[in-house]
A = this chain, B = another copy of it.
Amino acid sequence: MKGNQVTIKDIAKQLGVSPSTVSRALQGHPDISEETKRQVNELASKLKYQPNAIALSLKHKRTRIIGVIIPEIVHFFFSSVISGIEDVAYDAGFNVIICQSNERFDRELSNLNTLLAQRVDGILVSVSKETTDFQHLHRVVAQNIPLVFFDRIAPGVQASSVIIDDHYSAYQATKHMADSGRKRIAHFAGPQNLSISHNRKEGYLKALQDSQIDPDPSLIVEADNFEKARMAVINFIHTGNIPDGIFAVNDITAIGAMKTLQKNGYRVPEDVAVVGFSDGRFSAITEPPLSSVDQHGYEMGIIATEMLLKQILEDAGNNSMETRVLRGDLIIRGSSKI
């Protein structure tokens, strides 16, 4: 922000009118004569006048900025959500600030404080894997700042959210394998403090139950990335405890499992079926292509932003709490075909 930026004052001075006149002319206010408007607009564009959004924000006590706190944008799902957020926000004349928590609690906290200091008009949050203390989010609600969660919610915080039916989708994914005759279906789970991980595990368990399969604790491991999946599979192999199906909490974990199985001579899906979650760019690219659950990230971004904008524009605060549940779509590909 170099000092040489043109202001309304500069234009006013050059034209010999008052700043207010310039301000009004620029806004197309009906009181201002056509002639003045023409002059002002001409000079403004000649000087490349750029309205100072900061001054406007201070004046209007609104920034027309939406803050987003997202775990990691590398993930296709989160990128898609952002696209949805941006599309809706821009159409409504709002800007978007994206902050990554990198799955860390301290970063999430400092991101939030930044957004608060920046006086964003509303906040969209998907909580980090590390977050177990929700004080900071309670605070936002208490201050009546519009807040909507997407995908990963903070249990107990009274705010709107849009999530997918993790329980249902996990159930579907697991049931699909059970229905094709798999009996020893493993689950690679995420950290259980995250509602999504918890619900996916519950859906998995329910599907087993409905398929008259007793859950085998040795087949339920905490593994939510490539490397942990690799280790888990190697452990399965060493102990001779090979499953005939794996339902993983996300795609990259599923791929880690699949690759490791293949490297060790197991065939996918013949020996072991594999299903992931959160249909990303990877799914269609692996060999065989990975079955997964399409989480509809783009749509989620759209809905979350629409809910947030409603809160912001109707000045409703967080009173109108609402939860939207999207249904994920199980997409069956080669990795789990019979």
A58, chain B: closest CB distance, angstroms: 5
> Roughly how many angstroms separate A110 CA and B55 CA in the complex, as a whole number?
19
Q: Is the CB of A120 within 8 A of B1?
A: yes
Q: Which residue of B lies closest to A75 (CB)?
A: B79
The answer to whether the Cβ of A287 comes within 8 Å of any Cβ in the partner chain is yes
> Given A285-B282, A286-B285, does the pair A95, B114 have CB atoms closer than 8 Å?
yes
Q: Is the CB of A55 within 8 A of B52?
A: no
Q: Is the CB of B62 within 8 A of A117?
A: no
> Given A2-B143, A97-B97, A100-B86, does the pair A117, B281 have CB atoms closer than 8 Å?
no
The answer to whether the Cβ of A333 comes within 8 Å of any Cβ in the partner chain is no
Number of A interface residues, CB 8 Å?
55
Q: Mark A77-121, 1 if CB is under 8 A from B, else 0.
A: 001101100100010000111111010000000100110111111
> Given A1-B63, A86-B100, does the pair A117, B52 have CB atoms closer than 8 Å?
yes
Q: Is the CB of A74 within 8 A of B79?
A: yes
> Roughly how many angstroms separate A180 CA and B122 CA in the complex, as a whole number?
57
A77, chain B: closest CB distance, angstroms: 10
Interchain CB contact (< 8 A) of A74 among B90, B110, B281: B281
> Given A76-B74, A79-B74, A98-B98, does the pair A3, B61 have CB atoms closer than 8 Å?
yes
Q: Which residues of B have CB within 8 Å of A99? A: 96
The answer to whether the Cβ of A317 comes within 8 Å of any Cβ in the partner chain is yes
Interchain CB contact (< 8 A) of A50 among B2, B74, B116, B285: B116
Q: Which residues of B have CB within 8 Å of A83? A: 100, 102
